[in-house]
Amino acid sequence: MTSHNLSREEDLVNKLKARFPEAIKESKVERERRILVAFDKDKLLDIAAFMRDELGFDHLKGVAGVDEPTHKRIKVLYFVGSFSRADIEDIILVMETELDRGNPVIASSVSVCPSAHFHERETFEMFGVKFEGHPDLRKLLTLDNWEGPPPMLKDIKFPEMAQR
Amino acid sequence: MTTTQAQAPAPQSPMTITPGKEASTLDVSVGPQHPGSGHVRLLIRVDGDYIVSIDPDVGYVHRGCEKIAESRTAVSNIPHLERPCIIDAIHLNWGYVLPIQELQGVVVPPRGQYISTIAAEMNRIMSHLYWLAINAGVFSGHTTIFMYAFGDRDLFIELAEMLTGARLTYSFLPPGGPRRDLPAEFQKRLTHLLDYFERRLVEYDRIFFSNPLVVARAKGIGVLKKEEAIRLGVTGPVLRGSGVKYDVRKVEPYGAYADLEFDIPTFEEGDSYARFMVRFEEMKQSIRIIRQALEKLPKGPIARKAPLAIPEGEAIGRVESARGEIAYFVVGDNSDKPARVKIMNGSFRNLIAMPYLIRNVHIADMPIIYGGIDYWPLEADR
């Protein structure tokens, strides 16, 4: 089976923590190849640029919102990986940040990572997260005449979707 | 809570032509019912015969898969989560099940892993044949390859039906392992089919991939440089056609891939023809993988019993689908329904390549670039 040596993952976490001692709030190596880093949302662009230029995480796999009404927060998760660095290409690093559920605002990462364009548009329409500085923050997937609230929020229920 | 739907805006004809901002340009709406795959509208701005810019308007087949997934149990999610890409259902199914198994601590027995791998590689061939028929054949006006590839795809579909009971939407891999063992005569028939298909690939090469008309049509069109491909985060054959050797089957082996020998075909050119050739070579590798898996197939149980509930926690699972890496992020909360399922699939990630590639090209080159990306609107829209 797979080895349980996690030194590569811990090394990456330590580099991040050393560079951003205050902005990295929490970090854990979940298992081999999986790292989770919780960060302060104000430092998004600095951390993203550092990860791209210094650590070699060169692409974004996706952006996910997670609505947690009991904690009055919306989490935004960025899934990043590397194509160009063979030693870390198997790692998925999840960068996680918390936004206020009443007013979810975060800087857009399109300037650092152009592929965030459609991912951020989707998270904007599904969770109502405003990505400041996004060049074209429009609805993407829902109907043109959909004027309801962001549909992926937990308190939006669609009875017709319930299990039959 | 009730939701409101406002009055629909004035209906717009799907083929509107309106003057663009600059006097010499026109805005043309292609789709959402175009003759290829349909379901996506490409708003292009043309200057004479050239496309100046493109705005992909997606979402025509959005069905809220991620929202539905929160209201159904882990197992009953499988049939609808594999729907977005019915020609590649095993991979959508498998990618979803991996994180659930990880949270549950369920390990699929070796025989189950091998059977899953065989089914997945058959599905890759079927998906690439569909692409070859429609996105490569029809889009480049080559009707012979359309007939050939669709006919041969059906032979694989028949065997998939024999294995799973369904032609396209198999729901074959619930948590714990595949639903069925290989039926009697299956190995013999599949071996026979692979021998036949290998000969057909030689024919495909002769009439399509080496056809001077196809080469002239696709070579040098829609070039995506290696650095750009990395920066845009594209995946699958689009990435490998730009010279990046990245495949989840090698990077993070799942199923039986760690035991099997195969190559990752990559091409440096980054044009539509390179993307065509990646898929052509991948079909050959799939044959190689299935043959080895059939030969090495271990004995023993095919599946283990998995609990119905998803334990609390988060996990990411990923597989290499025909359209690239498909990753699922699943949050469990000890109930039988997932608290969140996020789908990160190849079509949605490759969507970003469209505005970059379909720019400053002839209108006539658009289908070739679109076909090279192998964009599947239903998968992207979810």
Predicted confidence at residue A162, as pLDDT, reads: 66
Residues B33, B38: Cα–Cα separation, whole Å: 5
CA distance B379 to chain A (A): 12
Q: Are B75 and B340 in contact (CB under 8 A)?
A: no
Using CA coordinates, name the residue in chain B closest to A157: B1
Token pair for residue B341?
């399922």
> Which tokens is B329 given?
């992020």
Residue B62 CB coordination number (10 Å): 21
Residues of chain B positioned with their CB less than 8 A from the CB of A144: 8-9
> Cβ of A77 and B329 within 8 Å?
yes
Asked if residue B6 has pLDDT above 70, the reply is: no
Confidence category of residue A159, pLDDT binned at 50, 70, 90: confident
| Contacts with A66 from chain B: Cβ below 8 Å | 331, 340
Which residues of chain B does A142 touch, with a Cβ-Cβ cutoff of 8 Å?
A: 59, 62
- Please answer whether residues B81 and B343 qualify as being in contact, where contact means their C-beta atoms are separated by less than 8 angstroms: yes
152-181 of B, contacting A, C-beta below 8 A: none
d(CA A17, CA B117): 40
Cα separation of the two ends of chain A: 41
What integer pLDDT is reported at residue B11 of this predicted model? 40
State the pLDDT at residue A139: 85
The length of chain B, given as a count of residues: 382
Task: Report pLDDT digits (tens) over B251-292.
Answer: 999 989 999 999 999 999 899 999 999 999 999 999 999 999
Q: For chain A, how are helix, strand and coil distributed in percent, rounded to 5?
A: 30, 30, 40
State residue B19's pLDDT score.
57
User: CA B346, CA B318: separation in Å to the nearest integer?
Assistant: 11
- Residue A24 token pair: 């990295």
Q: Is A7 exposed, middle or buried (0-12, 13-18, 19+ CB in 10 A)?
A: exposed
pLDDT tens by residue, A25-64: 788 887 888 888 888 888 888 888 898 888 889 899 999 9
Q: How far, in Å, CA of A157 to CA of B59, rounded?
A: 20
Chain B residues with CB under 8 Å of A30 CB are 314-315
Kindly write down the DSSP assignment for every residue of B22-66, as one continuous string: STTEEEEEE-SS-SSS-S-EEEEEEETTEEEEEEEE--TT---HH
B280: distance to nearest CA of chain A, Å?
Answer: 23
Nearest-5° Cα angle at A109, B247 to A127: 90
Note whether A115 contacts B232, CB cutoff 8 Å. yes
What global pTM score does this model have?
0.88
Q: How confident is the model at residue B37 (pLDDT cuts 50, 70, 90)?
A: low
* A7-11+21-157 is a CATH 3.30.43.10 domain: no
- CA-CA distance, A33 to A9, in Å (whole number)? 7
Residues from chain A that touch B252, judged by Cβ atoms under 8 A, are 33, 90
* Cβ pair B344:A89 closer than 8 A: no
DSSP code at position B167: S
Q: Tell me what percent of the residues of chain B surpass a pLDDT of 70.
A: 93
Quick check: A34 contacting B, CB < 8 Å? yes
Domains of chain B and CATH, by start: 65-353+364-381 (1.10.645.10)
DSSP output for B250-298: HHS--TTGGGS-------SS-SHHHHHHHHHHHHHHHHHHHHHHHHH--
Average of per-residue pLDDT across B168-173: 91
Q: What is the pLDDT of residue A4?
A: 64
pLDDT tens figures, B62-119: 888 898 898 889 999 999 899 888 899 999 999 999 999 999 999 999 999 999 999 9
Interface membership of A59 toward B (CB under 8 Å): yes
Q: CA-CA distance, B328 to A79, in Å (whole number)?
A: 11
Read off the pLDDT of each residue in B173-189 and give the average, rounded to a whole number. 91
pLDDT tens-digit profile of B114-139? 999 999 999 999 999 999 998 888 88
ipTM of the prediction: 0.89
How much is the mean pLDDT over chain A? 86
Q: Other CB atoms closer than 10 Å to residue B221's CB: what's the count?
A: 19
Q: Where are the beta strands (DSSP E) in B31-160?
A: 41-47, 50-57
Place of tokens 């639903």: B179
pLDDT at residue B122 in the model = 94
